[in-house]
Every structure is written in C-alpha cells, then in structure tokens.
Structure 1
C-alpha cells in the first residue's frame, strides 16, 4: 500500500505540475514528460478500477510525512489529475473513501462548486414514482416531437433539465469511458450512502440513445464528444452499460422524464411527430407532400373557375 501510494502521488504530482523539466531523465521509462503523455490516461484508468482502490487515509499520511507534518490537499491533487481541463474546486470535499470516490464527486460537480453529493435516498421504491411510469423515447423521436437539445451550463452529470428544451451536460466518450462508468456504477451499488447519480445518468442516456442516429444528433448539438469510434460504437456502449442493472430512482431525472412524457402526449406534439416521421423524414417525401398540396390547390382553383363560368 505504501509503494502504490507513493507511486500514485508522484504520478499525479508530475502530471499536474505543468513543468517542462520535472526532475526526471528525458529517457525515464515512466516519469519522463514524453512517456507520461502516452501512459497517463491508462494509469488514470487503472487508478479508477474498484479493485485498485487505496484508502485515502494512506495518501493523507504519506503527504503529511513528505511535508514534515503539513497536510497538503490530496483531494485537489486528484481533481487536477482526473479533470485537467475543467475548473472544479475540491478543497471543500471531505470524508472521501478513495480516489474513485473523489472522481465520482467530481463528475457530479459544476465549476467551482463544492457540495456533498451523498443525498438521502428517496423513501419511495427504486425505479417507481408517484405517477404512471413515463414513456421515454429516443433523441430523434424527441426531435420529431419538437424538443430541442442544448448543452447545460456545467459538465456536472446532475445538470439535466427540461423546459421545452432538453439540456444535457457535455460529455466526452473515449476508450476509458466503459471501464470508468462500470466501476463507478459498481461503487454506487456497493456503498449505501454513495448515491446513485452516475447510474441514473447512464440509465437516462441509455433510454434516449437507441442507435447511431441518436448519437449523431447529440454530437451535432455539442452534447457528446466522440473520441471513441463510430456513432454506432457509442450507441452500443451506452446500450450495454445498463444490461442487468436495476435502475435507481432519481428525483431530478424522474421529474424531467415526467415533463418530457407530458410534452410528447399533447395532441399538437403527437400530430407534429407523426408529420415529421411520415412526411419529413427524407427529401422525397417532402417533395411528394409539396406536389400533393400543389395538385390540391390546382383542383380547388379549377373548381372555382368552373363554378364562376357556370353562373
């Protein structure tokens, strides 16, 4: 544990220092700047495996020993390492169990937002709400019903809202996404007080992503950054994450789903969705519809002239 803890602290220190010369030889197989550019993402992935977690108390004690009794903010160091391009404030976090716990709270944190994300569980049964279960359609079906998509103001996975426009946080999908989500979701399942926000986010995305067309729409709206592969690969990824997973109850997302379901059930939006699906799906159907209206207009004009000539 001491060896692993020292290695983790040194990796995070060298990666986040931003120094061109970190004190290691240019040909060092691990800590050279050139080498760290390639292996740091994979070290981060391994650090987030549930079976690789060290008690954060070990890192606290190692830092205190290295600083002659002065405790440095380990949470902030982990935050800078895991979220290098985001301005998140980790100084106010406490009572974290390990690196994954800090990382999970970072996923749910907006810029300069410090809060305890461990909420009390809702007393209602998981997966059920007081109202009837809403029908969640895919992103393209939302679009056909007149629902627009926008990026949320933050990248917090909790920042999902609906008020005629469905706002979702920007999320980047890459080779480490599957491993990260599976481990964080397992952590939420195993620890009663951890919360279920990440699992709820993945379940919601699984519902609105059915195929590559849904991914392409969300990518066009700037909600999903695809560094993983094809749009189909991203769709398959989200569809596989919730296999055999009991979907948790989340009050915020349940409210969003109820509002979306109510919006889609209004008569005008049903007609609009049917028109978009049946007549505006391709240029040929649009041309056919225009031609039909044109012929109908000509028929009316001909009928009017016939009546006028008769009278």
Structure 2
C-alpha cells in the first residue's frame, strides 16, 4: 500500500531547508493552483477571475450542468488527493465537495488561459477591456501567470485538465493536443519534435520539453587524451574549469543545433564544446529552482536539469565567462547585467547534489582530460602567466626585445675581430734565397 501511494505522489510541498535558500522562488505571486496556496491573502483577487473563467467554460459545454462535472471529477477524487505530498485532509473533510470545486475552478481557469493564448483575439467571448483575457492582460498579466504555473507547489494533476477537455466535448483525436496547447503557451519558441505521452502536471511536461533531444554530435575522446590520464573518474575531474580557462586551453565553444539541455557534447579531436543556447531572463531563476526541486523530490524524475545547471555553474565563475558564452551565442542575456547572470548560476547550484552518470558526466570528464594533456596544460599555463593582462604582455614583449638587442650587440661585438683579421692581408711571400757571394769573387 505504501508503494502504491508513493507512486501517485507528484506534487510536493518544498521543505524549509530548501525553501529558505530562496523563499520567493517557490511561492506564487499572482494566482494559486491547488491546495498549498489556496486563498492566501495576496492571491485572493484572482479568485473572481477564476469564477468568470468557469462561466465561460460552461457556456461552451452545450448546457451541461456543473453538478455533472463534479460527479465526473469525484470518480478520481482520491487519486487527485494522493497526488499531493503532504495533503491536509482535515482542511477539506467537512466541506461539501470543496476540494473538487477548487480543482474544477483552477482547471477551468488554466484551460481558458491556454485557449486565450492560442487565439489571436480576446478568446471569442471576453470583453475587450477584460483585466485578464484581453490585449492588456496578454501583455501585463499572462507572463506572471505563466511563471506561477511552473512552480512545484502550484500544480494541479494533469488528469484534471483531461477530464475537463472530455467534459467540454473536445473531439480532437490528437493525443498530444493538450500537451501542445500547454507548450505553446509556456515556450512557443521551442519546436516540438516528439510525443510526451502522459505527464504528471504542467511542470513535468515543461521539463520533458527541455530534454526532448539527445546530443546531435557524439562526444569524441581521442586516444592520446585517454592514454595521458587515468581511466578512473577522479573527484577533481568533475570540477570543470571556467569558460575563460577552457578557451585559453584551446577549447572552442559552439551552440548546439537544438535547445535541449541534453544536447551537450565535446569533440576532443577538434577541441569543440557544444552547449545549447539558453535565454536568461527575470523568470529563469524561479523556473530553474522549481525544476531542480521536482527532480529532488520526485523519485524517478531524473537528474538532467540539475546536472546541466551544475555544469553551467562550473563554467561560469564571473561576468568574463558570461561575455565569452554570449559572444559564442550560447547565453542570451535578457537580464542586462553579465554580473547578474553569473550570480544567478552560482546561486542555482547551492546545496545541489548531482549523480555522476549520463552523457553530461562523460562530457565533463572528457573536457577535464583534454585540459590536463601536457601540451594544452602548458599552453594554458603560458597564457595564465604571461597573457592574463596587458602589462604582462608588455613586459614579455619588452623582455623579448631586450633579449634580441643583446643578441645583436653580442654579434656586433664579435664581428670586429673577424673584420680586423680580414683587413690585414698575409705578408707577401719571401723571394727565393740566393746565397751571397764573397767580394773577391766579384
């Protein structure tokens, strides 16, 4: 019974040891979905718009009564409650269908938001000056609803949306219709290339969309790199150098062909590290924290997002690394400050535990081995010592120039001796010796 109940858990309350690191990242600011933040003071204002969304939803259901919808939802009530861990059953026990009504309200509001985002007008039957479902709401309200939809504590089971679509009489035969509708609202710029099947909730679907591609290039480890290092994965091999140090070691950064966080590869023969292009904006920290929390809390979710965040934190130490990745088209900075981007990634991996497995671990080990080969390490040390700042370069150039002058002066000092020897020709040959005759012979 415990195993069956644990299998149903998919929406979790963030433990205080995690939430205290960044309290705002896990608490919705505009709208609540589900029981954890239901009727909180700063979120009550949106309840009025939820009821309006329910009215518009029922109008499209050909006069079907709300009681019939409650009966349909009651068939899975226990499964819906079991989706939450923990779930305070005493809060809803003595209230007639209050939990189901909350699920219906939140589900209808979610569907109306998705349909409105999918349309080019105001959704067909909303007023032009509607605070939420209008051009004004599309610009000023929808981005914050989107952010709150991606919080782990602010999820509703996907089964709620599926039941509402069935009650609506949606005869769309595409099994991915709901998934496509959600992803078009969350990340319209990311193309969908696969079927995601049954998902637990919106955050789970969004996570799967970020991981839909395998690496488009294989990780290549040259034999000389393998031979020059130990085959065992040492602890320090996971501490990959920063982007600046990697660049100085001869590694070239290139954006991957897809936006999948799994599409990270390293070509050790050419020294090319491929990383997917990512957009860093005001909501990146909130979304990343909740994706990491979901992987941390849900058994079997995987570790891919956490591993990618850990990888990016390693190669980004400061704003200089961000500038390098920006120039290569890997980081698109919508925050404005490169220092803020570096601080963001450094904070995301705090208290983060990452399993040493998967393709990204192979990439990190391969890159570290590449940097430890004698030639690449010597080149990195040379750049670190002599080319780190302009004054070091000037000093090195001056030293080389003085050394060249010393060599030239030495050559000219030695050369006059050879010149003197060449300027004094050898004495002419002595005439043949004739013996001198005595005078009396003359």
Q: TM-score, normalised by structure 1?
A: 0.89
Q: Distance in 2 between matches of 1:29 and 1:54?
A: 24
Q: Deviation of residue 154 (structure 1)?
A: 0.6
Stretches of 4+ aligned residues off by more than 6 angstroms = none
Residue of structure 1 in register with 2:201 after alignment: 98
Write the distance in 1 (CA, Å) between the matches of 2:139 and 2:193.
24
Deviations 1:117-148 (A, max 9, x none): xxxxxxxxxxxx95212041111111111111
Q: What 5-or-longer segments of structure 1 have no aligned partner?
A: 114-128
> Which residue among 256, 262, 273 is the counterpart of 1:158?
262
- Is residue 146 of structure 2 the alignment partner of residue 44 of structure 1? yes
- Which of 169, 172, 182 does residue 67 from structure 1 map onto? 169
- 1:294 aligns to what SS in structure 2? helix
Contact 1:12 1:81 in 2 (8 A): yes
Look up the match of 2:95.
Answer: none
> Please, which of 80, 83, 104 is the counterpart of residue 2 of structure 1?
104
Contact 2:251–2:272 (Cα < 8 Å) also in 1: yes
The 1:159–1:70 alpha-carbon spacing in structure 2 relative to 1, beyond 3 Å, is: closer
TM-aligned CA deviation for residue 21 of structure 1: 4.7
Partner of 1:215 in structure 2?
Answer: 322
Map 1:4-153; keep pairs closer than 5 Å: 4-17=106-119, 19-23=120-124, 24-68=126-170, 70=172, 73-89=177-193, 92-110=195-213, 130-133=232-235, 134=237, 135-153=239-257
Aligned to 1:256: 363
Q: Which runs of 5+ in 2 are unaligned?
A: 1-102, 217-230, 419-442
- 1:17-46 CA distance string (max 9 Å, x none): 2x1453222210000022212222211110
Q: Quick one: distance in 2 between partners of 1:240 and 1:88?
A: 30
1:301 aligned to which of 393, 400, 408:
408
Check conservation: 1:200, 1:247, Cα contact below 8 A. Answer: yes
Q: 2:285·2:344 contact (CA, 8 Å) conserved in 1?
A: yes
CA contact (8 A) 2:132 2:142 kept: no
Cα offset, 1:214, TM superposition: 1.2
d(CA) in 1 for partners of 2:193, 2:362: 28
Query: Among 213, 224, 231, which residue is 2:338 paired with?
Result: 231
For the residues of structure 2 that align with 1:222 and 1:242, how far apart are their CA atoms?
Answer: 23
- After TM superposition, give the deviation of residue 282 of structure 1 in Å: 2.5
CA contact (8 A) 2:116 2:133 kept: yes
Q: How many residues align?
A: 293
Structure 1 residue 9 displacement after superposition: 1.1
The farther-off stretch of 195-204 and 102-111 is 102-111
1:148-297 equivalence runs, <5 A: 148-163=252-267, 164-297=271-404
CA shift at 1:255, angstroms? 0.9
Task: Look up the SS of the partner of 2:300 in the other structure.
Answer: helix
After superposition, the C-alpha distances for 1:139-190 in whole angstroms (9 at most, x for unaligned) are 1111111111111111100111111111111111111111111111111112
Please tell me whether the aligned partners of residues 22 and 33 of structure 1 are also in contact (alpha carbons under 8 angstroms).
no
Q: Shift of the alpha carbon at 1:223?
A: 0.8
Q: Quote the residue 1:120 is aligned against.
A: none
Q: Deviation of residue 237 (structure 1)?
A: 1.2
Q: CA deviation at 1:205?
A: 0.7
Preserved CA contact (<8 Å) 1:196 1:250: no
1:45-99 superposed Cα distances (whole Å, 9 cap, x missing partner): 1011111111111111111221255566111111111111121135x21121000
**Alpha-carbon distance in 1 for matches of 2:417, 2:375:** 41
* Distance in 1 separating the partners of 2:349 and 2:356: 14
Secondary structure (helix, strand or coil) at the match of 1:166 reads strand
User: SS of the residue aligned with 2:392?
Assistant: helix
Contact 1:60/1:71 (8 A) holds in 2: no
Cα distance in 1 for residues equivalent to 2:331 and 2:324: 9
Q: Secondary structure at the match of 2:355?
A: coil
Larger radius of gyration: 2
